[in-house]
Amino acid sequence: MSKILVVEDEPQMLRGLTDNFETEGYDVDGVADGTAGLEKILAGTYDLIILDVMLPGMSGFDVLRKARERGIATPVIMLTAKGQEVDKVVGLELGADDYITKPFSLRELLARVKAVLRRADRAPDAGATMVLDDVEVDFGGYTASKSGKPLVMTPKEFEVLRYLWNHRNAVVSRDQLLTEVWGYDESISTRTVDNFIVRLRQKIEKDPSHPRHIITIHGTGYKLI
């Protein structure tokens, strides 16, 4: 049975989500502010977190940032306000696995939950490693180093880099990354992928302004060589 944490400050929505997830057979905890949510995340073991952006005590962004900094790799679906594209982009860049915009249908949310849990259940490729110059990445163990020193990366950065590595020397479009890594059927923002690539270059390239490994294919996407 998958265990879900819902962090949502609207009492009616929190109660409705909790009740519906329990009806679907999930084990559910619910809290109404960001500080309590972070405490639950750090103290518990969850398979998925539903995290609102606007929360009392601590915003959903801060909760996600602090959880990722503490090494919590649990999948997160963020709830964002209608039309707040910046919320979606920031959440994804901080390491969220998906987002859904309010108001949303329960059917759509349940579909997103099942998709994220299904991706999380995929067995890691324990033997998958990448070596580029002085950078070594163990995708199975989610660890990386550069010149022998630990390299801090978010779970989503590992997944983007893993996808590029698995398709090295081939052109990968932005839409491919959003579909295969985040599970979207269509792109929400090419800027999301571009920002991830910029950050990956800063971490693995010797000279990020003149990359040797993650190359831009203008008008199409990227190639890892």
What pLDDT was estimated at residue 187? 42
Residues with Cβ within 8 Å of residue 74, at least 6 apart in sequence: 41, 46, 47, 48, 49, 67
Region of residue 147 (phi > 0: left; psi between -120 and 50: alpha; otherwise: beta): left
CA angle, residues 29, 30, 35, in degrees to nearest 5:
115
Sign of the dihedral through C-alpha 41, 95, 83, 173 = negative
What pLDDT was estimated at residue 99? 82
Q: Which ranges of the chain have pLDDT less than 50?
A: 123, 126, 187
- The continuous run of DSSP H or E covering 157 comes out as helix 155-166
DSSP state, residue 123: P
What pLDDT was estimated at residue 70? 83
What pLDDT was estimated at residue 85? 61
DSSP state, residue 133: T
Rg of the chain on CA atoms, in Å? 18
CA distance 70 to 133: 28
Q: Summarize pLDDT for 5-16 with one digit per residue, the tens.
A: 999 999 999 999
DSSP state, residue 137: E
What pLDDT was estimated at residue 224? 94
**Amino acid residing at 222:** Y
Q: Which of 213, 171, 208, 177 is nearest to 192 (CA)?
A: 177
Q: Which pair of tokens denotes residue 165?
A: 């590595």
Return the residue matching tokens 């989503």: 156
- Domains, in order of start, for the chain: 3-120 (3.40.50.2300), 129-224 (1.10.10.10)
